[in-house]
Structure 1
Amino acid sequence: MGLRATLDFLLYDWLEVQALNARPRFADHSRETFDAVLDTCERIAREKYAPFNRTVDTEEPRFDGEKVILPACTHAARLAYAESGMLGAAQDYDIGGMQLPYVLEAAANSFFAAASVSIGSNMLTSGNASALMAHGSALQKQVFALNEFNGRWAGTMCLSEPQAGSSLSDIATRATPDGAGAQDDALGPRFRLKGHKMWISSGDHELTENIVHLVLAKIPDAEGRLPPGVKGISLFIVPKHLVDTEGRLTGERNDVALAGLNHKLGWRGTTNTLLNFGEGRYPVRGAAGAIGYLVGAPGQGLQCMFHMMNEARIAIGMAATMLGLAGYYASLDYARERPQGRPTGAGGKDVTRPQVRIIDHADVRRMLLAQKSYGEGALALNLYCARLVDEQHTGQGEAADEARLLLEVLTPIAKSWPSEFCLEANSLAIQIHGGYGYTRDFQVEQYWRDNRLNMIHEGTHGIQAMDLLGRKVRMEGGRGLQLLAARIEAGIAAAAATPGLDAEAAALADALQQALGATDAAWATGEPGEALANAVPYMQALGHVVLAWMWLDVARAALRGDGAQPANAGRLAAARYFFRYELPRIGAWLKVVRERDLTCAEMDESGF
């Protein structure tokens, strides 16, 4: 059973996304149109991406001093993707979109992440354009967002700086009004930006005629001082090439210079850059600084950018998931073909008998089941979150608000849990291959290298954990966590009434209470330093509780069909594995959370 069969089951048998077609926004669609989109993306991924995954890993981007050079296969893949319409798949018809449900867009894009994640990293362009659609002016949407959705231009987001990393309050890029005051250009209030941005994915290339950078910067006060903290951060559109109000290139290069390429462990097919804004390499219109157009109100930059980042975080979770599944499928094929060892019977091994395939060994099956439970469980979680996005935007009243709240709580988990445990799946895929897995003769080592990034970018693992325990489970008086608990309890009740799932239902009920109790205990003293000292173990534990809920619900869907059918029997086995081998791990994680253990926080630096 491959990715397509798993997607079909999760979309149609579990989430029943075909029911969305009853909503006015999606009324023109049917399962047939959904399948056609999946077919198209699966074909493009198979033909334009998968055959070149190793190529883009070995032929890294090169900078010749003027431009970035990428392999021809990257240009062809990007063109095929843009021509498919997937950059604007969920957008309105009147701007050239397909008005697809976001859950279908996420599912269709999964093929590209599985085929070659570093070729298929188009998420920033879609996220950039979506942020502009939410917060930009009418002309900013028309000129910049629509030209990103149609594939003519690409987009980035520029947050981190060399000296600040993830600490956005410490960014030093400054934006000063272009003239005596904030001179109003038709494209928005015009500013001059100076500063440096680091780790910018797709920050420079020749794949499109223009690149639209969304840049976080601070507007200095009358004395030239930058406002402290994050409240003074604003968002600016800084195009690589300047354009007019019709979206035509003016022929002027903006003062955005590529300072260098970062040479990475994985995702080598994607350019990753250090960009200098306003250094004077490309003087523009007789003044210093890169020209940028303010998006939204001054000081509201993070609010605007986080619209993009939340979508990006779900996409990162999906990318991690797909890499985990790619490794799983590769190691499954290998285990079915590789002969090694002999079965152990009552009298020990009989060396006169033929060797068996390694899949016949119990420990190899353990490693395969672990990968399956991580990968397919994470896929269920990410599709569930994507379905919540549709509910938030097209649901009515209370349902839409509940979807918003659930997304707030689940997004850190949807990004970080797959990033950690699907990376572990990739490690197990290497282990199943043995020594061969450690060589470049097989792709599993590349899957691991590519996946290692996902615990870092779009908010590191530790930052996501502190966001979850420090903010998300406490926001609005804890209403989001209460809502999540109620959803899980409803799933427990349904499973308890399903023959064969009563033990799993009881185990999840106990795990949920452990997690809720640890949440309260972590904050019992009200001291953030104590509560957040073990935020990562908390996220691991709550993530396991959420994944157990996903698997319990998926198991119910499998039993609604033919439970003896091989694919459904496999799902039930993966669910049992997760409950018996994985869910019990939360005890150790929650113990240090509950006790507010300060072993790590209080370690004296000299002892290291």
Structure 2
Amino acid sequence: MRATLDFLLYDWLDAAALNGRPRFAEHSRETFDAVLDACERLARERFAPYNRLSDTEEPRFDGERVHLPQATHEAMRAYVESGMLAAAHDYELGGMQLPCVVEMAARSFFSAASVSMSGYAMLTQGNANLLLAHGSPRQKQVFARNELAGRWFGTMCLSEPQAGSSLSDIATRAIPDGDDHAADPLGPRYRLKGHKMWISAGEHELSENIIHLVLAKIPGPDGRTIPGVKGISLFIVPKHLVDAEGRLTGERNDVALAGLNHKLGFRGTTNTLLNFGEGRYPVRGQAGAIGYLVGAPGQGLACMFHMMNEARIGVGLGATMLGYAGYLAALEYARQRPQGRPVGPGGKDPAQPQVPIIEHADVRRMLLAQKAYCEGALALELYCARLVDEQRTGTPQAADDARLLLEVLTPIAKSWPSEWCLEANSLAIQVLGGSGYTRDFPVEQYWRDNRLNMIHEGTHGIQALDLLGRKVVMEGGKGLALLAGRIRDAVARAAQLPALAGCAQALGEALERLEQATRAAWSSGDPVVALANATPYMQAFGHVVLAWIWLDVATCATRGEPDDFRRGKLAAARYFFRYELPKIGPWLAVVESRDTTCLEMQTTWF
């Protein structure tokens, strides 16, 4: 895995060139490598050995406290001490000013070692990053800085039992807390009442405080709640109340754990139902959780999307590395497991010794599929991180291009690995056969952990609606056109190479088909019809994007001295073009024809 990371970072994305920019001027490849070395070692020593423990000893609530294995406490303490929570931030914030692409490469080790244990860090980073973007100066100082220091951890509280992903239907309410509510130094102070469901890391004792970012509705000018998403605001709701200097006051906020959700996988991260303002922990004699408004009233969803989009890429990385971990386990097993004999001209010779199963073509097919899915997905996630660096430190034009590309690619960065790296985990189980279906080997846990990634941070269907309904048509289709231009540039480069010319032609044709399907989907002007087949559209779109990624990676692989490593990259690219890219035809056919089979299906017919 490390060799692939180094190749993608330095040969393909040229991360070392970022050191020529003022923000990263104090870094070098040596400092980047030192960070990667440290994180690889920490993940191997403090996370990976306890991944199974975090699964078998899932969080337990005794009515007062949530209990986690001691290994989780120690792993998160070591992570905090490593400084990785603030790694990409300014030196003044205790950060290292690492490029985002290097930070993401470093985080990949933790996702592969134990995605559920490392989930606490991902949520805390996203929470702090949102506050740094939208919070007041005091909120940044008190809440974001303490999170980046690892003193406090964070969550995001969106879904509710009755609303799920339909945020316009949330019922949590916030009302001003007293006549002086607007004068609180931590921000306008409100009292919140409601329930939040599926809150990852919502309760634990890994840190001295938990900072919840909560979506709630406030009264409009007439005193009534504004319907829909326009009435949603965002609030900081700490588990333990703090003063304006960030000191704990010793008073518990009115946030209570109603219970833990018992999950198929991803068990090392607590998942909770939280009650806000039920009166279990009254504040100053009153029910209602104290919350501080972030940003302007009614702008809560816009603020929260900062964390949601970051989390979606983080989910994509987690899905990728679960697939990658399963692939490496399957590869090791296939090289060691003897079974069967090669077929010669006269058939199998039972007198010959058995061969490792990796010698069988179908096992190689399954391994090659996993390699194509997982290494391609890793390249995509790192490319998105590289766009973040361009958005932050590039020229104005490069920064705006990066913004548009990220808008279009984020649904793919989340959805494609969560579907196809899950398939990689399924193939890993298949390679191990009956052993893969037992808990004696890790691949079944990787599959269970990965199954969540198609659901949380926006389900597969929601990502599809976002892609076809918003992202490809936003700003007059400018983002899609920009992506298409990048793809055509890669096609033109690869077309000059005999080994890749056929792949280049296939990708050019696939892009034209995708653009045609996009136009056809919207040709009726009816969004109900256009979006009825959004998921097959997203599947085809994702495969075109991954074919582009693989073509560009393969082009890079041809520049060095041919060796097993580079030949492996070229073989994975060929596999993707021959086995995977042709799948887009049936997907796009239903989009182009605006097929109404699913729309016409009546509920009573089921």
Kindly state the Cα deviation for residue 180 of structure 1 after the two structures are TM-superposed: 3.8
Residue in 1 that maps onto 2:480: 481
Amino acid at match of 1:432: V
SS for the counterpart of 1:119 is: helix
Amino acid at match of 2:246: G
Residue in 1 that maps onto 2:417: 418
Residue in 2 that maps onto 1:177: 176
Residue in 2 that maps onto 1:189: 188
Q: How do 1:215-226 residues align onto structure 2 when only pairs under 5 Å count?
A: 215-221=214-220, 224-226=223-225
Residue in 2 that maps onto 1:378: 377
Q: Distance in 1 between matches of 2:504 and 2:555?
A: 11
Q: How do 1:524-603 residues align onto structure 2 when only pairs under 5 Å count?
A: 524-562=523-561, 564-603=562-601
Q: Distance in 1 between matches of 2:128 and 2:589?
A: 43
Q: Distance in 1 between matches of 2:583 and 2:516?
A: 16
Deviations 1:306-342 (CA, angstroms, capped at 9, x unpaired): 0111111111000000000000000000000011111
Q: Distance in 1 between matches of 2:505 and 2:261?
A: 49
Residue in 2 that maps onto 1:249: 248
Kindly state the Cα deviation for residue 222 of structure 1 after the two structures are TM-superposed: 5.7
Residue in 1 that maps onto 2:129: 130
Amino acid at match of 1:54: R
Residue in 1 that maps onto 2:160: 161
1:298 aligns with 2:297: yes
SS for the counterpart of 1:60 is: coil
Q: Distance in 2 between matches of 1:342 and 1:453?
A: 39
Residue in 1 that maps onto 2:341: 342
Q: How do 1:18-97 residues align onto structure 2 when only pairs under 5 Å count?
A: 18-97=16-95
Amino acid at match of 1:436: S
1:227 aligns with 2:217: no
Residue in 2 that maps onto 1:101: 99
Kindly state the Cα deviation for residue 386 of structure 1 after the two structures are TM-superposed: 0.4
Deviations 1:530-555 (CA, angstroms, capped at 9, x unpaired): 11111111111010000000000100
Q: How do 1:488-503 residues align onto structure 2 when only pairs under 5 Å count?
A: 488-503=487-502
Deviations 1:202-223 (CA, angstroms, capped at 9, x unpaired): 0000000000000000002366
Kindly state the Cα deviation for residue 76 of structure 1 after the two structures are TM-superposed: 0.5
Q: Distance in 2 between matches of 1:340 and 1:468?
A: 45
Percent of pairs identical after alignment? 75
Q: Distance in 2 between matches of 1:496 and 1:561?
A: 18
Q: Distance in 2 between matches of 1:489 and 1:475?
A: 21
Kindly state the Cα deviation for residue 102 of structure 1 after the two structures are TM-superposed: 0.5
For these two proteins, the number of residue pairs brought into alignment is 605
Q: Distance in 2 between matches of 1:412 and 1:514?
A: 20
Kindly state the Cα deviation for residue 170 of structure 1 after the two structures are TM-superposed: 0.2
SS for the counterpart of 1:440 is: coil
Kindly state the Cα deviation for residue 181 of structure 1 after the two structures are TM-superposed: 6.3
Deviations 1:410-431 (CA, angstroms, capped at 9, x unpaired): 0000000000000000000000
SS for the counterpart of 1:118 is: helix
Q: Distance in 1 between matches of 2:220 and 2:14?
A: 53
* TM-score normalised by structure 1 residue count: 0.99
Q: How do 1:276-295 residues align onto structure 2 when only pairs under 5 Å count?
A: 276-295=275-294
* TM-score normalised by structure 2 residue count: 0.99
Amino acid at match of 1:196: H
Q: Distance in 2 between matches of 1:104 and 1:73?
A: 27
Q: Distance in 1 between matches of 2:180 and 2:94?
A: 37
Any stretches of 5+ residues in structure 2 without a counterpart?
none
SS for the counterpart of 2:599 is: coil
Q: Distance in 2 between matches of 1:398 and 1:410?
A: 18
Kindly state the Cα deviation for residue 245 of structure 1 after the two structures are TM-superposed: 1.2
Q: Distance in 1 between matches of 2:444 and 2:496?
A: 43
Runs (4+) off by over 6 Å: none
SS for the counterpart of 1:601 is: helix
Residue in 2 that maps onto 1:149: 148
SS for the counterpart of 2:198 is: strand
Q: Is the Cα contact below 8 Å between 2:281 and 2:287 reproduced in 1?
A: no
Amino acid at match of 2:273: L
Residue in 2 that maps onto 1:113: 111
SS for the counterpart of 2:434 is: helix
Deviations 1:136-188 (CA, angstroms, capped at 9, x unpaired): 00000000000000000000000000000000000000000001464321100
Deviations 1:19-59 (CA, angstroms, capped at 9, x unpaired): 00000000000000000100110010000000001000000
Q: Distance in 1 between matches of 2:220 and 2:531?
A: 35
SS for the counterpart of 2:265 is: coil
CA-based RMSD: 0.8
Kindly state the Cα deviation for residue 397 of structure 1 after the two structures are TM-superposed: 1.3
Any stretches of 5+ residues in structure 1 without a counterpart?
none
